[in-house]
Structure 1
Amino acid sequence: MTTPPFDPPSEADIATVSAQLGRPARNVLGIAARCVCGAPTVVATAPRLDDGTPFPTLYYLSHPAATAAMSDLEATQVMPVLQDLLATDETVRDAYRLAHETYLADREGIAVVPEIEGISAGGMPVRVKCLHALAAHSLAAGPGVNPIGDLALAQGDWSPLVCQCVDYNKDRASAGQ
């Protein structure tokens, strides 16, 4: 089996991801997308955790500003609008199904886990369930692969082209975190 293209994590990457998540990072196989400053934005996580638990979310959004932007977007009730788009636009629906298949192929390129066979992330291929997972897939795979993830990134108040790492870390420090 082949591994999707992503950078293997360094010790500094694991430390950064752990700080981003507020807990120890686990089973990180690689960094699938980075901020323009080089900090991890999306981690690739093993399809089966060390404790044996199946883990379908290969691409996991770790960057705090990106995660906050997707949470804010979900709070605006944009998900039903995106779900309606999926139901009414055949081009988007077909591209979303292909994104699902690409996601599965990437994960199965690492390991086949029978318990999660056919399950990708974010509600693919028929629902819009988690913008965090869909945005992570878009960032990892690049523009044009996941149409719903691309739309979420375009509508959110975070951009992968603008570093917010320093601002986020300053905000956390001033809040005593």
Structure 2
Amino acid sequence: MPADDPAAAVTAHDLEVLSAQLGRTPRGVVGIAARCACGRPLVVRTAPRLENGTPFPTTFYLTHPGAVAAASTLEANGVMKEMTDRLAEDDGLAAAYRRAHEHYLAQRAALGHVEEIDGISAGGMPTRVKCLHVLVGHSLAAGPGVNPLGDEALARVRGVWRPDRCTC
């Protein structure tokens, strides 16, 4: 979702929903990067440096409990290792994943430069998969075709959770 998209704006209601979703006060939220079919946040866009000065590389933070649970289930089932292994074997996939990494870095750079995390995206990109929550969040925020492994993770959870069907 483009930063100037009205749906990206964060409202007081969004912050209340995010607090309930996360079980804590949300930090560094600068926009809603993707919304549920009902309008609640799915993914937040987060500042690269939190209010307390901590560098924060996770620009697209998955918040929706159903999506978080679905990504956690994939992780528990060993999908991250399988995906990482495929990156070493499939040059096309590795190139597409590197482009996803570069997209992620560009999206974060638009929010500001933080030296401590320069060149570091999130989720293990560009050489491994270490967090499907990040990859799913990136795919939901950027749309299909930007992060191939995030898109794949979304396809794998479709029978359990879908972004186009409200489960809030």
- The answer to whether the superposition gives a TM-score over 0.5 is yes
Alignment pair present for 1:79 and 2:80: yes
- TM-score (normalizing by structure 2): 0.94
Alignment pair present for 1:163 and 2:166: yes
How many Å separate the matches in 2 of 1:137 and 1:94? 17
Alignment pair present for 1:108 and 2:94: no
How many Å separate the matches in 1 of 2:162 and 2:82? 21
> What do residues 2-59 of structure 1 show as CA deviations (whole Å, max 9, x unaligned)?
x845512000001101100000112110000001111100001110011111000000
- State the match for 1:141 in structure 2: 142
Whether the 8 Å contact between 1:28 and 1:44 is mirrored in structure 2 is yes
1:1-177 alignment runs, 5 A limit: 4-5=3-4, 7-156=8-157, 157-165=160-168
How many Å separate the matches in 2 of 1:31 and 1:63? 12
Q: Which amino acid aligns with 2:25?
A: P
How many Å separate the matches in 2 of 1:43 and 1:15? 13
**SS of equivalent to 1:38:** coil
Following TM superposition, by how much is the alpha carbon of 1:87 offset from its aligned partner in structure 2, in angstroms?
Answer: 1.2
**SS of equivalent to 1:138:** helix
Q: Which amino acid aligns with 2:111?
A: I
Q: Which amino acid aligns with 2:31?
A: G
How many Å separate the matches in 1 of 2:64 and 2:152? 18
Gaps of 5+ in 2: none
Count residues in correspondence. Answer: 163
Whether the 8 Å contact between 1:4 and 1:109 is mirrored in structure 2 is no
How many Å separate the matches in 2 of 1:159 and 1:110? 29
> What do residues 121-166 of structure 1 show as CA deviations (whole Å, max 9, x unaligned)?
100000000000010000000001000111111112211111111x
Identical amino acids, percent of aligned pairs: 59
- State the match for 1:169 in structure 2: none
How many Å separate the matches in 2 of 1:130 and 1:145? 17
Which structure 1 residue ranges, 4+ long, deviate > 6 Å from structure 2?
Answer: none
- TM-score (normalizing by structure 1): 0.89
How many Å separate the matches in 1 of 2:129 and 2:74? 13
Query: Rg bigger for which structure?
Result: 1
Gaps of 5+ in 1: 166-177
